[in-house]
Amino acid sequence: MAEDTAGSIPKRVFINSVDSYASRNIAKFLSERRLVSTYEEDETEEQERAFQLVGSADRRDGGSPHVLEVYSKANRDELLLKLMQCDVIIYNISEHADQVEEALWAVSALHGQMEQFAASKMFILISTVMTWALTEPLDPEDPTLPLTDELFWRRRPHPNFKSHCELEKRVVKLGKINKRVFSTYVVASGCLYGKGEQFLHYFFKTAWLGGQHEILLFGDGNNVIPMIHVIDLASVIQNVIEQPPLPGYLLAVDNSDNTLEEIVKMVASVLGSGTIQKKPFEEAFLIPDFSVMEIDALQLNLYMDSVYVKELLSVKWMCESGLVENIELVVEEYRQSRQLLPIRVCVLGPPAVGKSTVSKHICQQYKLHYISLEESISQLDAAMDNPDEDEEDDDSLEETRMLLSRFRESRDTDTLDEQFKVKVVRDRLLSKPCRNQGFVLDNFPVTRDQARELFSADGDNSEEPEEAPISSCSRRITPEFVFYLDASEEFLKARVKNLPESLIQEQDYQQEAFLQRLATFRMSRLKNETALEYFEEIDVAPVLLEVTSNEKLDTTLLMHKVFETIGQPRNYQLSPEVGQDKERKQEEKRVGKTGHEDALPSLWEKGCGEEDKQKAEGAGKWITRLEKVKLYEDKQLEAQSVPVRNYLMEHVMPTLTQGLIQCCRSQPQDPVDFLAEYLLRNNPFNS
């Protein structure tokens, strides 16, 4: 909901790099601010906005709908004219070091044009706490004593952020000359999180994908990282514009003092398996997802407190207590911002119609998890035989073990077995992978009662009235798409007859059993007792698909209808590293080489910038150190093995060699026994 702000004339605000993570979110936040309503009802929404936003971007189409004008590749004379038309100029240098030079030019050029200002202007520099990275603790005996913005003169920057620090000093200095005409502010932002993530994105992505059981943590993880939600940073900027404080330097961090390990563990527990694996920090250089600035930020270790922001500004915090305390909110933002929403599908139909084939095609196309009753029971069986050592919920484990034990004793369909079927499938649907990517549920639930129990909000609908299925269903696991495959009895019978004998035995498709199952299914359909009726009750309309042929073309057309209904994938697409790998292989093929020595230089020149070279240099140094350590270890092992080798050569090998020679000459039936007798007879120590 948009908030109101005092005033009657919108301020024109310039933000650089509006196609970047922080600038984009700040622009969106500011665009939602509204002036106190003094207009007639028929006035447009644009007139009610507190800020008119313009900005620069790498591409002309790189802006956002919240920005009125986007300047792409404008020369400095043109850009200065645009800046002169603005009331507030915001330069964000917290994400890209290449913006430091332009920000220095902008603040200097504006200061030089003060006499030409038609009205006062404000310059806000969004910097980073990396300019404090090497600052000494206030009390060596109490390193937890926080640094505050009052002590900004004590800050010592990380070596890679010296230019940022010099720019901060320049901005503060220029703002002291004539504050009424040209005021300047530096907002040193904590490491940003929220709204899809940036420097923590690797950990969120790895946990969400679930490709590896343990999430990697680089270093010991004991370092405290000052952080702030990107929307809270935007709120600080908005307050600086509307309520200009007296100090020109502000820290913008939340109240958390979380370590990197606490942060990564929390992300892993909410999105993934909950376990982490510590690796040497140098291995972070080998992760393509990390930029050099992000690698530097992961090593930050500072306790900080934004005193001025708390005392002088009226910030309405979203995550004042930090990421760990607000992890559910941040994870939901991550899913929504990146459109990583689960796709939930159910495929139903008569036996032998091809449900499993269609289900697996959908899984392959959308990278979803295949769920069937048989597969779920098999997986649970394996899990019970090999329990996870990290399993913490002993009561739940024991309950599942008892149910499985009783289910094994009796495979007949009874009340207990129905409860077990629903429980085992429901547990799979509620698992982290299914909640992250989604699932395809193959031929389950079969009946309306099974569906109601499976998708009820609390897992037990015994007291739920049948008239209120919508309110009782769990939106987390209820399918969005239901496909009902149907075919004539003649077609199904012909298909079963043409199946391999092994598959007929496996699926229990012997003629008598198959006809009985088909008749039971048709009878349930006539009585409106199938799961289809439940889905219709909760307004999930099943898509009916008629199967009339086994031909490949007809199957392709049917799958096209399915994919068209579901729409675009909601998953991570081809990663940059995979794309680069494909490009490298194509380059190797082009030059006719099996290696990559000649192909790499052209790719390096084509796609790698200064930051990639810095990462490569860091990784190269680490590999060089590893090689030196390995060489040292080999020398140590060599030195330790010399006495052993000398002993063997002097006391064992002469006699053993003669014995082996005699054994080869004689070629006895039992060579081992022959060699043993030879060594006993010719033992030089017995003489």
Task: Give dist(CA 86, CA 68) in Å, integer.
Answer: 13
The mean per-residue pLDDT over the stretch 503-513 comes to 78
Q: For residue 133, give both structure tokens.
A: 């990275």
224-233, 314-323, 420-429: which range is least confident on average?
Answer: 420-429
Could you tell me if 531 and 433 lie in one domain? yes
What would the mean pLDDT of 266-279 be, rounded to a whole number?
92
If you average pLDDT over residues 34-49, what whole number do you get?
56
- Cis amide prior to 445 (ω within 30 degrees): yes
Q: In 3D, which of 121, 104, 114, 115 has the Cα closest to residue 171?
A: 104
Residue 120, pLDDT score: 94
Same domain for 318 and 347: no
Please indicate, yes or no, if residue 265 is contained in any of the structural domains. no
State whether 302 and 444 are in the same domain. no
pLDDT at position 312 is: 94
CA dihedral of 163, 167, 168, 174, whole degrees rounded to 10: 160
Q: What's the average model confidence in pLDDT over 278-295?
A: 90
**Spatial distance between the Cα atoms of 223 and 251, rounded to a whole number of angstroms:** 19
How many helices and strands in the chain, by DSSP H and E?
28, 20
Q: What is the pLDDT of residues 618-631, one digit of tens each?
A: 666 667 777 777 77
User: Rounded to whole angstroms, how far apart are CA atoms 181 and 7?
Assistant: 19
- Is the distance from CB of 471 to CB of 461 less than 8 angstroms? no
User: How many angstroms separate the Cα of 31 from the Cα of each of 4, 253, 612?
Assistant: 11, 23, 35
**128 vs 584, which has greater pLDDT?**
128
Position 600 scores a pLDDT of 39
Please indicate, yes or no, whether residues 416 and 555 belong to a single structural domain of this protein.
Answer: yes
Domain that holds residue 660: 616-682
| Alpha carbons 9 and 152: distance in angstroms, whole number | 35
pLDDT for res 611: 58
Host H or E run for residue 171: helix 162-175
404: confidence class by pLDDT, cuts 50, 70, 90:
low
* Nearest Cα residue to 302 out of 253, 249, 239, 366: 253
Mean pLDDT of 386-400: 57
Same domain, residue pair 238 and 362: no
Higher pLDDT, 59 or 89: 89
Residue 588 resides in a domain: no
Please answer whether residues 224 and 302 qualify as being in contact, where contact means their C-beta atoms are separated by less than 8 angstroms: yes
CA atoms lying within 13 Å on the CB side of residue 129: 29
- Binning pLDDT at 50, 70 and 90, where does residue 598 land? very low
Query: Contact, 171 vs 184, CB < 8 A?
Result: yes
Q: For residue 110, how far is the Cα from the chain centroid?
A: 41
Tokens of 426: 């429901």
Rounded mean pLDDT, 535-543: 91
- Within-domain flag for 445: yes
Polymer length in residues for the chain = 687
Residue-level pLDDT at 463: 44
Range of weakest confidence among 47-61, 451-465, 505-519: 451-465
Based on the fold, state whether residues 305 and 347 are members of the same structural domain.
Answer: no
528 vs 148: which has the higher pLDDT:
148
Asked if pLDDT for residue 596 goes beyond 50, the answer is no
Write out the two tokens for 686.
């017995």
23 and 125 share a domain? Answer: yes
The pLDDT, as a whole number, for residue 381 is 74
Give the 3-state DSSP-derived string for 257-275, with helices as H, strands as E and coil as C. Answer: CCEHHHHHHHHHHHHCCCE
Instruction: Please say if the pLDDT value at position 413 is more than 60.
Output: no
How many domains does the chain divide into? 3
Check whether residue 315 and residue 351 sit in a common domain. no
pLDDT at 389 over 90: no
- Read off the CATH number of the domain in which 432 is found: 3.40.50.300
**Predicted confidence (pLDDT) at residue 250 exceeds the cutoff of 90:** yes
Whole-model pTM over 0.85: no
Residue 219 lies in a domain: no
Alpha helices in 338-465 (DSSP H): 355-366, 373-385, 394-409, 415-429, 432-436, 448-455
Read off the pLDDT of residues 125-163 as tens digits, 9 standing for 90 and up: 999 999 999 999 999 889 899 999 999 999 999 999 999
* Local confidence band at 602 (pLDDT 50, 70, 90 cut-offs): very low
More confident site: 573 or 434: 434
Residue 7 confidence class, pLDDT cut points 50, 70, 90: low
> CB count, 10 Å around CB of 155?
21
Query: How many angstroms separate the Cα of 61 from the Cα of each of 17, 30, 67, 83, 461?
Result: 12, 20, 11, 20, 51
In a domain, 437, yes or no: yes
What's the mean pLDDT in 396-408? 64
Q: How far apart are CA 358 and CA 545, in angstroms?
A: 11
pLDDT, mean of residues 450-458: 83
In a domain, 479, yes or no: yes
Query: Hey, what amino acid is at 130?
Result: M
69 and 123 share a domain?
Answer: yes
Query: Residue 123 belongs to a domain with what CATH number?
Result: 3.40.50.720
pLDDT at residue 599 greater than cutoff 50: no
pLDDT at 597: 41
* In the predicted structure, residue 298 carries a pLDDT above the cut 90: yes
208 located within any domain: no
Task: Determine the straight-line distance between the first and last CA of the chain, rounded to whole angstroms.
Answer: 101
Contacts with 174 (C-beta within 8 Å, 6 or more apart), sequence order: 107, 108, 111, 123, 182, 184
Q: What is the mean pLDDT of residues 433-442?
A: 94
Please, what is the average pLDDT of the chain?
Answer: 83
For β-strands 343-348 and 227-229, DSSP reports them as: unpaired
pLDDT at 128: 96
In three-state secondary structure terms, 349 is coil
d(CA 557, CA 605): 44
Task: Calculate what percentage of the chain has a pLDDT beyond 90.
Answer: 51
Distance from C-alpha of 656 to C-alpha of 679, rounded to nearest angstrom: 7
Q: Which residues of 658-684 are buried (b: 16+ CB within 10 A; e: fewer)?
A: ebeeeeeeeeeeeeeebbeebeeeeee
Look at 168-182, 238-252, 438-452, 659-673 and tell me which has the smallest mean pLDDT. 659-673
Q: What are phi and psi for residue 288, nearest 5 degrees?
A: -60, -25
Residue 638 within any structural domain of the chain: yes
Tell me, yes or no, whether 307 and 431 share the same domain.
Answer: no
pLDDT tens for residues 328-373? 999 999 999 999 999 999 999 999 899 999 999 999 999 999 999 8
Is residue 322 domain-shared with residue 378, that is, in the same domain? no
State whether 358 and 312 are in the same domain: no
